[in-house]
Amino acid sequence: MNPEQNSRLQLRVVSPSRLLVEAEVLEVQVPGLDGYLGIWPGHRPLNACLGQGELIYRTVLGREEKVNIKNGLVRVADDKILVLTEMEDDDRV
């Protein structure tokens, strides 16, 4: 990992019906098609499809939070994570 890199990630989770999460986080785990993917700062660029499950992220305060997602796509570039998911209304954990 490059030392000058930020130790935080910008996470943005959107579904067609609304913005689910927009936060600065330390770590994210997303349910990939073949199991969970852990994403830490300095992750290399990645585009991946998602399955169904909980997206878990740790906020800058160190608290762990979860959001239910179902199918979708994650894109990681420059410590920015964009998650698009099909999840419909009000299934928030």
Q: Which residues bind another protein (CB under 8 A)?
A: 12, 14-19, 22, 32-33, 44-49, 72-73, 75-78, 82, 84, 86
Closest distance of CB 26 from another protein, Å:
22
Pairing of strands 35-39, 19-32: antiparallel
Q: Which residue number, 14 or 26, has a Cβ lying nearer to another protein? A: 14
Query: How far is Cα 63 from Cα 15, in angstroms, rounded to an integer?
Result: 23
Q: Which residue number, 26 or 82, has a Cβ lying nearer to another protein? A: 82
Q: Which residue number, 65 or 86, has a Cβ lying nearer to another protein? A: 86
Q: Which residue number, 33 or 60, has a Cβ lying nearer to another protein? A: 33
Closest distance of CB 62 from another protein, Å:
26
Closest distance of CB 33 from another protein, Å:
7
Q: Which residues of 37-63 are buried (b: 16+ CB within 10 A; e: fewer)?
A: bebebebeeeeeebeebebbbeeeeee
**CB 58, CB 25: distance < 8 Å:** yes
**CB 60, CB 25: distance < 8 Å:** yes
